[in-house]
Amino acid sequence: MDDALISGATHTHSGPGRVLNTGTDQSSFFDFIVDKFFPEFYERFVDTIADTIVAAVQDARPARLGTTVGVCDDAHDDRRCEDGEDYQRGDLPLLAVERDGQVDAVVMAYAIHGTVLGIDDLHLSQDVSGAIETAVADAFDHPVMAVMFNSWGADMSPADPEVETRPAGVRDEGYERMWHAASAVSTAVQDAWPSLAWTETPDIRLSTHRVPIDRELLGYDEETFPYPYGGVYCGNDAGSCEEPAYQEGLDQVCVPFAEAFPAPSQADVTVGRVGPFSLVTFPGEPGTRLAESIMDAMRASDPTMQDALFLGYTQDYLGYSLLEEDWWYGGYEASGALWGPKQGAWLAAQVADRYGAFVGANAAVEEPARLTPFPYTVDTPYTVDPAAGFGTVVVEVTPEVAADGIVTFAVQGSDPWLGAPTARVLDASGAAVARPGGRVFTSDQQDWDVTLDVVPAYASSDAPGSTRTFTWTFRLSPRSPLPTGVDLTGGPWTIEATLPGESGEQVVRSAPFTVTAAP
C-alpha cells in the first residue's frame, strides 16, 4: 500500500488523542499533547481506518476525474505577525470524481489552520475543516463526499469573512466563524467548477519514501540547537508582533526531548502525479513561504510541471516547519518545530529531492528502513460500568423552537466504551430528514453537539463495575446560518436516538416539535 495510500488529517485542538505509545513509563511531551496511550482505543482507531480502506477498494468502479485550481483569499488570514509580513496565498486545487454520470466526491487542498475551537472547549468536533467539507457538500443537489486536506496551514488562520447568512441558532462561540470561512471556500469551489477538465484516463502514480532527520543530518554546529534528541517550545512564543526582530539565543531556550522518548527521527513523504497535478505531501504544518520554496524546486526539476497538489498534515507529523531565517523571529510556529531552525529547509529539500527522483531529474538516495510499529499489550481489559436508567428521557424537547434557537434532548444511555449514541431527525411520516445534498442528517455532523454527564464522576480510585448514570445530551441547531445548509423551519419533527447498550441497541424518540420562523 506504500505507493497507493495517502493518509491526511484535519485539525482541531479540542479533540481526543490516546493513540500514541511512548514506549516508556516516563512522561513525555507527547503525553501532554495526546494524553496517555489507550491500547484498546488505538485498536479501534486503526481497525476503523483499515475497514474504510477495504470498503473503498471493494466499491471501486469506472470513473472519470475532473481537475482545476480555484482561488479563495477570503477564508484565511496571515496569522504570523512575527515575520513583519501580511502574506497569504489562496490556491484551491480541486479533484472531482464522477461515477455513473454524477459527481461522487470532491477533494480540496486549502491552506488553513483548522482550529477555531480552543484546547479548553473539549468538543469532539471536526472544527473548521469539517464545516468546509459540510458547506461544500451541501451546495450539491445529491450526496457528495467532500474531503479537505490542509496544505501550508501553519501561518494561515481561519478568517471570519462577511458572507450571506440568515438567523440561526449558534450553540457555542466559534461556530459562526467556522461557517463563515466554510461559506467562502464553498463559493470558491462553485466558482471554479465550470473550469474542471475531465478525463477517463488520468495519470495516477505515487511513490512513498522515508526521510531521515536528526541533529547531525541537519548540520548544526556544537553551539546551535544543542538538543541531541530534539527540542520544542523554544522561547515559549518569544516573538513580538509589535516590533518583529531576530531572537538572539532562541535556540538555547528550548524544552529538550528525553533520550527515552526522542523526537521522531524519520518521516514518510509521498510524491507523484494525479491527473495534471504534481503531488507532494509534507509531514506536518509548513509555512506559506516554505511551501512555495518546495514548489519552486519542483518546477526547477520538472519543466513540464503544471499545478501542484500540495498536501500538508499528511503521511506523518513533525510539527511546524518554517524557513530558517523566519524561525529566528520566534513565535508560536517556530516553537512548534521539533528539530529547530533548520528543520524546515531540510524537509523541504528532502521532499523536492524525492519529487526530482520521481521525474528522473536526479538519482534516488538511500533511505532508512521502515520503523517497527511500537509494541503494546492490553494488560487490564476495560470493564464496562453498569448503566442506571438506560433509555430514560431526561430532558424532553420543547414543543416549539424558533429557527434561531436550540433544540435540546437528553437521554440516559450507557458506558461510552460501548460507543457514542447517535441521533437523527424524523419527519411526520417517520422518514429520516436529509441534508440539502441528500445525506442523512445525523448527530455526527457539524450542526449538532453531544455531551456526556457521568454520575458519579470518574475517579482514579474507582473500582471497576461501579453503577453510574450516563446522561447524553443532544443539542441541535435547527437552521444553518448558511442559506445552502439545513433548515428545519416547519415540522413536526422528532429526534430519534440510538443508544448502544450491553445487551444491544435501544431506540428512543423525543416528543414532536416544530420550528418557527426566527423573529
SS3 letters for 12-78?
CCCCCCCCCCCCCCCCCHHHHHHCCCCHHHHHHHHHHHHHHHHHHHHCCCCCEEEEEEEECCCCEEE
Yes or no: say if 464 and 385 are a contact pair by the CB < 8 Å rule. Answer: yes
Instruction: Give the Cβ contact number of residue 248 at 10 Å.
Output: 8
pLDDT at 25: 61
- Residue 447 is classified by DSSP as T
Element (H, E) at 176: helix 175-192
Q: Which residues partner with 516 through β-bridges?
A: 402
pLDDT at 3: 85
List the one residue out of 413, 350, 420, 330 whose CA is nearest residue 124: 420
List the one residue out of 495, 203, 219, 159 whose CA is nearest residue 343: 219
pLDDT at 237: 66
Gap between the Cα atoms of 156 and 293, Å rounded: 17
pLDDT at 35: 79
- Residue 99 is classified by DSSP as E
In the predicted model, residues of the chain with pLDDT beneath 50 are none
Query: Could you give all domains of the chain from N- to C-terminal order, each with its CATH number?
Result: 60-199 (no CATH), 204-358 (no CATH), 393-516 (2.60.40.2300)
Gap between the Cα atoms of 292 and 280, Å rounded: 12
Taking the model in full, what pTM does it have? 0.94
Gap between the Cα atoms of 413 and 453, Å rounded: 10
Residue 297 dihedral angles phi and psi, to the nearest 5°: -65, -35
Q: Which amino acid is at 338?
A: L
List the one residue out of 89, 498, 500 whose CA is nearest residue 310: 89
pLDDT at 10: 82
Gap between the Cα atoms of 451 and 472, Å rounded: 6
Gap between the Cα atoms of 354 and 268, Å rounded: 11
pLDDT at 1: 74
pLDDT at 125: 83
- For the purposes of burial, counting CB atoms within 10 Å of the CB of 222, is it exposed (0-12), middle (13-18) or buried (19 or more)? exposed
CA dihedral in degrees (278, 283, 287, 288; nearest 10)?
10
Gap between the Cα atoms of 142 and 439, Å rounded: 8
Q: Between the CA of residue 468 and those of 390, 391, 457, 472, what are the distances in Å?
A: 10, 14, 8, 13
Q: What is the CA radius of gyration of the chain?
A: 24
Distance from CA of residue 95 to its chain's centroid?
Answer: 18
